[in-house]
Amino acid sequence: MTISSMRGANAMQVLEQSVVVFSQNYLPLCRINIKRAIVLLLTDKAQPLGFTTEAGWRVHSPSLVIDVPKHIRLTISSNERMWKIPPVNRREVLRRDHHTCQYCGSGKHLTLDHVMPRSRGGSHTWDNVATACERCNSRKGDRTLFEAGMQLRTKPKAPIHPAISFAEQFWIDMQGSLE
């Protein structure tokens, strides 16, 4: 398989490039490598989008020549579950907080802390649960942040699905390239 593209780019450089994938409703979902894009195009799970003037890549094999665009749109529906806010559990809270104590920044001996203690009416919700190391969690105990004299590094909130944050950044980048 050989690949041709813009002048001066070799096949390995081209293979490192990425293609933006859009949902059926034109929401930018993610970036994938060219090999994955070829599979989606050849299996009719995606179609090229031609809303930009940027050239893509031409891929040659012994029996096939395919033009791989910079943007493709899925022709299959994406999984609905991926758009739901995940449950509040240890794995998801640690992921949201980047496996870091939200009080001191430590990455060791992590636990979950209820910002407003449950014994004082606090709930087990995204905006009341934060990652805390054992030391900070013990220091805070059954007190409020004010009573313990502690501060959170970031305010707890429900995580944004990666596809949503990718879409937001994609449109910011596109707007910047138009200016």
**Per-domain residue ranges for the chain?**
2-78, 90-148
What one-character-per-residue DSSP string does 70-133 give? SEEEESSPPPGGGGSPPP--HHHHHHHTTT--TTT---SSEEEEESS-GGGT--SSGGGEEEEE
Q: Average pLDDT over the chain, rounded to whole? A: 85
CATH of 90-148 given 1.20.140.10, 3.90.1150.10, 1.10.30.50, 2.40.30.10: 1.10.30.50
Least confident of 64-73, 76-85, 138-147, 164-173: 76-85
67-119 residue pLDDT tens: 889 999 999 876 644 567 889 999 999 999 999 999 999 999 999 999 999 99
